[in-house]
Structure 1
Amino acid sequence: MVAPPDNNVLWARGLHHMHGSTAALTDVSLGVHEGEILAVTGPRGSGKTTLLACLSGQLVPTEGEVWFNGAPVHTLSSPSRERLRLDRFGWIDTKPHLVPELTSWENTALPLLLRGTSHREAKHTAVEWLERLDVGMCARHRPARLDQTQRQRVAIARALAAAPQVLFADEPTAPLHSADGTQVLRTLTTAARSHHITVILATYDPQVAALADRTLTLFDGRRSGAVPEATGAPDEESRAACSLSA
């Protein structure tokens, strides 16, 4: 096992993943710089969601390696990967998955509260992000009172409020109308750049992909026509010293 290049916050090599007897990923490798927005494109069923799940530690690849800040993710225990996702990663799904019993600000603040942030600070941060996503007026409403667009905006506010180092977004504007989707995506990418958040964005929409710094294309679980990733010389000493707190 060789450590990744030092200039990659997220790095994967030779990822293979099987869903039953079907190959969802086949020999996928990539490197992502800190603060970069990478669009993962391809048709439905091409492996985009599976790739994001492997990179974020939700799935352990059948074969291959995933590294974050110079430390291996694929060898972590399930509780350690869960903690990594809470502390360092954010996730925006195609569906919002809000807690129905909580208000919008409580849903948005939930990751912060789980980390131990004070109630007052978590609420202040949550309301700020809801206002940035134009749903501040919904802060005290539960999900049942919101329309689909509002619920998705709350989910995006929740992911950004947690200030993740890496944000994974799996077709986050798919439930939105075109104009709403464009506005929300611009808010997301602007916030990511201003807060130095690395974004891995899965999409089949070329207009969405155009907002990214770079594009990686999947077809039937394989890379197709991707821009060459960053390279660097392996460093055994840095591997020995690598740490998730880097």
Structure 2
Amino acid sequence: MAAPPDDMLWARGLHYAYDGSPALQGVSIGVKEGEVVALTGPRGSGKTTLLRCLSGQLLPEQGEVWFNSSPVHTLARAARERLRLRRFGWIDSSPRLVPELTAWENAALPLLLHGSGYRSARGTARAWLERLDVGDCAGKRPAALHQAQRQRVAVARALVHSPDVVFADEPTAPLHQGDRAQVLRALSAAARSHGITVLLATHDFALDQSARTADATGAALADRIVTLTDGRRARTPTTGGAAGPSAGPEGSAACSLSV
């Protein structure tokens, strides 16, 4: 079955279980190019598993995943690894930086793995660190940085090679509330300025609400919210934000967050 033409990333009927315990139970989702989608729900609701299936890290036991009209769920392991390296970015709940490398070297790793020259990779990585307000940290190693600075370096690393999609799995979990909003704004603004699609998982809906402080531009942090409960899609009420309501493949309503 071909993917819907309007969706860059699309999944249908995903099932996955860990040792017999269901993590996903028939989840379907479609994401358009350049869209920022927040995945919410309590811990254990299936958010991380969904991100890992969509990014090709896991193969669903049932269901299908499509990226740019190509079936991810039928690719061999090596092909999925190439896809993740070249077309996707990933941000974890902890930065996972290489301690021996400086901030710019950590940020430049995807480019260097792609075969970019040292000087070009350094320039691009430093530019992304500047965009994320940690340019003055470029020559420092992770141990000399604050947690929020390390997480911004991880965001730069995920964006530096201009991926089509960035998957962010609880990227603000270890941060204080003020730093959380700043990192989310930085990620959202950077992605939007470069047309990068983002799937952002968070269990902290209060964080989403706290991020809704109006600024001069009223820029949307997320175009839609998709809520998971016990591995299934749940209906999400609209908040009447700027992006307005829309419906996903399973008819779930969406809502927007403003920063």
Q: Distance in 2 between matches of 1:172 and 1:164?
A: 17
Q: Tell me the CA shift for residue 230 of structure 1.
A: 5.7
Q: Given that residues 94 and 175 in structure 1 are in contact (C-alpha distance below 8 angstroms), is that contact kept between their aligned partners in structure 2?
A: yes
Partner of 1:222: 232
Q: Tell me the CA shift for residue 105 of structure 1.
A: 0.6
Q: Distance in 2 between matches of 1:108 and 1:184?
A: 16
Q: Given that residues 40 and 218 in structure 1 are in contact (C-alpha distance below 8 angstroms), is that contact kept between their aligned partners in structure 2?
A: yes
Q: Distance in 2 between matches of 1:208 and 1:133?
A: 20
Q: SS in structure 2 opposite 1:184?
A: helix
Q: Distance in 2 between matches of 1:41 and 1:145?
A: 32
Q: 1:131-160 CA deviation, whole Å, 9 max, x = no partner?
A: 222222221122122222221111011111
Partner of 2:110: 111
Partner of 1:244: none
TM-score (norm 1): 0.90
Partner of 2:44: 45
Q: Tell me the CA shift for residue 205 of structure 1.
A: 2.7
Q: 1:102-154 CA deviation, whole Å, 9 max, x = no partner?
A: 11111100001111111111101111111222222221122122222221111
Partner of 2:208: 208
Q: Given that residues 37 and 222 in structure 2 are in contact (C-alpha distance below 8 angstroms), is that contact kept between their aligned partners in structure 1?
A: yes
Q: 1:183-238 CA deviation, whole Å, 9 max, x = no partner?
A: 1211111111111111101012334376210111100111110552269xxxxxxx
Misfit runs of 4+, over 4 Å: none
Q: Given that residues 112 and 121 in structure 2 are in contact (C-alpha distance below 8 angstroms), is that contact kept between their aligned partners in structure 1?
A: yes
Greater relative contact order: 1 or 2 (C-alpha under 8 angstroms, separation 6 or more)? Answer: 1
Partner of 2:85: 86
Q: Given that residues 40 and 203 in structure 2 are in contact (C-alpha distance below 8 angstroms), is that contact kept between their aligned partners in structure 1?
A: yes
Q: Tell me the CA shift for residue 70 of structure 1.
A: 0.2
Q: Tell me the CA shift for residue 53 of structure 1.
A: 0.4
Flag structure 1 segments of 5+ consecutive residues without an equivalent: 232-246
Q: Distance in 1 between matches of 2:223 and 2:133?
A: 26
Q: Distance in 1 between matches of 2:112 and 2:130?
A: 19
Flag structure 2 segments of 5+ consecutive residues without an equivalent: 213-220, 237-245, 251-259
Q: How does 1:107-186 map to 2 (within 5 A)?
A: 107-186=106-185
Q: Distance in 1 between matches of 2:146 and 2:34?
A: 32
Q: Distance in 2 between matches of 1:208 and 1:166?
A: 21
Between 1:87-96 and 1:179-188, the stretch displaced more is 179-188
Q: What percentage of aligned pairs have identical amino acids? A: 64
